[in-house]
Structure 1
Amino acid sequence: MTSAQDDFFVGYLATPSGLRGPLRRIALLLILLALAVNVAAHQLARDPGAALWDLSEPREWTGVVRLTPYPVLERDDGTSLLVHEGKLGALDVATPFASQRVTVRGHAVTRGHELMIELLSEDDAIRLGEILDSKCHLGAMRPGSGKTHKACATLCIDGGIPPLLITIRPDGSPRYLLLVAPDGGVANTLVRGLVGEPVRVRGRVSRSGHLELLRLDTGGVERLTAR
């Protein structure tokens, strides 16, 4: 009777000496079994191949946007699917640039020779549009855009009128972004030679009240050339 009581396991008491050896052997056996299952699963699993989602630094690619059946960028050295961040496609972003040659910015998703481009969110991306002087375009002059207004817009920019970038949203409505220099100051001298012309602008968007500001990257404005 005493021996049976000594070998009875109670969770909140010390393990009886007669059970310690068997429990150690069972624990070791379970560990070895788990290792064996893990090794077997690794050996039997299908090799996923070399794949990479490169989130280290954004990159840029240039090509022509096509929309059907899915948005792609036809580059000089291949064609890449376009997607947005998260679980979103890029149709709404790509539609305004259909059949246009553009430069996009994003992260590479690759497997072997296949490349998918994950576009950056609209707060940190490349935009195509026209730089205008805000006073004339918002109502002081008609027309307040295009080459016919270039000379007037240049005088306004030289006079300190805030420069404005107008781009087109996917639904066709205009979007206005006040341009800010890379150091956070005024951008007039940086853009004066490019007003009234199609441009590619790279920078980051922020808000000040209801106003949207686009803080330019260094060297982030360039004239679009006809192709």
Structure 2
Amino acid sequence: MKQNDEFFVPYIEGSLGSKTKKTIKRFGIVAILIVIFGALVFGFTQKPFKNSSFELTSTTKIVGTFHENPYPMLRVQLADNTYKNIVLLGFGKSSANPYLEVLLTKEKGLNNKILSIEGNLIYYNGKTLLQITDEEKVALVSSDGIAPTKSETIEMTLEGEIIDPKCYFGVMKPGFGKIHRSCAVRCISGGIPPVLATTDDNNISKYYLLTDLNGNAINDAVLPYIGKPSEIKGIVHKMDDWHVLMINPNDIKVTGSKSSIY
């Protein structure tokens, strides 16, 4: 070893030479700069959180016409000839049906009857959902409700991702994609309506309630495709502010491409 070489002995005070100190200092500065740069790159490449809302700590009373075709919904009049269909959900990963059973049995059917329901609102991008947490907050107002109108049908092929609307429209961020797939599967298998989220050529998001070709609920049949970018061919009609896509699950094609929804 040369005479001017440094040799560090941990238990000997003052054995850390000036060259070693400079090397450690340079390494520390470079490491800090790399960490800061990496954090900035990671931060700027992430998609921002959606401005979706879930009013978990407050309740809202909604009065509207109940209908259950294809899924439990409450039709609310916003203005003359303008209606919104609010999707009804249960607490957690369940459908609204358990919270409607008592009144359903008592009234021997609720279709097209006006109900008052109190629950937690979930809303994003023009769509509204209501989480029911107490069956005693569901009451009959009258039997004079008006059923939703449906447009003419058209055959379409759409690309998008099947999501569970409860998480996507407010409860989870993010509520789509591979990272959320297992949660969405549990929600939809529990009775929450499956929705196809798409983005059109103008980068505008659109949402389609999924049913079978007869317009019935289709929860279990779409479970293998949830959270996977897919191409789906079906028949579309509009029900007030919601599009409904009637499909044969065997026609769903997983594309394997990167999800374009947000």
Is this a same-fold pair by TM over 0.5?
A: no
Higher relative contact order (CA 8 A, sep 6+): 2
Which structure would you say has the larger Rg? Answer: 1
TM bucket normalised to smaller: 0.3 to 0.5
Which protein is richer in strand relative to its size? Answer: 1
